[in-house]
Amino acid sequence: MAPLTPFEIFRVRNRVGEGILWDAHREVLWWTDIQERRLHRFDWARGTMQILQAPDRVGSFGLIAGSEQLIAAFAGGIAIYDIYQQSVDWLARPPPLGPDIRFNDGRVDRRGRFWSGTMSEGEQPAPNGCLYSIEARSEARCHIRGITISNGLCFSPDGSHLYFADSPTRQIKVYELFEPDGVLSAPRLFTRTPEGAFPDGATVDVDGCVWCAHWGASCVVRYRPDGRVDRTIDVPTCQPTCVCFAGPSLDILCVTSARDGLNGATLDAEPHAGDVFLYRTGVQGLPEAQYRR
């Protein structure tokens, strides 16, 4: 199979582009630039981009059923966020378990809960993070403790399994998700990434395969449901961060990236660091689940 190259690149130069997702109802592609406190909104039909300033850093977010608001994991908590009125209705502000802790990766599961994990961003990151879930009329629950950098959160097509990575460990783990209470089983190892490749944002396609951005390795990898590598897509920068399937047919792979922390020589060599890359993979994704209030 010939190497794929992006057919389009959004030249946005994000410091830390992340959390990309597709709103199929409105045909809008969303993502966050965490460190710049910005949300990007690309209207697919019109080909227009809006950049919206957020009141705080947004690590991840999800769509809400029947609403134009978002559920957002801000640095310090989870809230219902009206991007146009700039109103924030806090749902959960759990106390941090150490200094320099903020919310990071997140996603809505197939039953309409929002999940998001915290991370340490100090000079010497410590395993003080948690993976939380929150559903309507309930408090946030911590499911996993001892996390350094929460990432790779996604769900199997039937919602029965949750994939999750603590990036520095270079391990993606899979958990059974027991309903109706949303309880996780003990984890098992799904896959281990190569040296220098840290699992970042991920999504699942219609075949149940996991697509994961490999921070530090300039690629996105598709894993079969048994954890074996199916294919690798090169990305023209070393820090790809998150992936989703977009477009009316859900067949366009979209990849965010980051330029934060790269030195001048690397930025000169990687002029597309921080941009968003679009690929035709011949694979179809799944509609994004929506939070239910």
Catalytic residue list:
200
Alpha helix segments (H runs only) across the chain: 264-269
The arrangement of strands across the sheet holding 276-280 comes to: 8-10, 276-280, 252-257, 240-246
The whole-angstrom separation of Cα 184 and Cα 234 is 33
Burial class (CB in 10 A: 0-12, 13-18, 19+), 286: buried
From CA 63, how far away is CA 41, in angstroms rounded? 13
Cβ–Cβ contacts within 10 Å for residue 32, how many?
28
Q: How many whole angstroms separate alpha carbon 153 and alpha carbon 73?
A: 13
Whether the CA torsion 168, 166, 97, 259 is positive or negative: it is positive
Other C-beta atoms lying within 10 Å of the C-beta of residue 254: 25
CA atoms within 13 A on the CB side of 221: 22
Q: How far apart, in whole angstroms, are the C-alpha atoms of residue 203 and residue 152?
A: 8
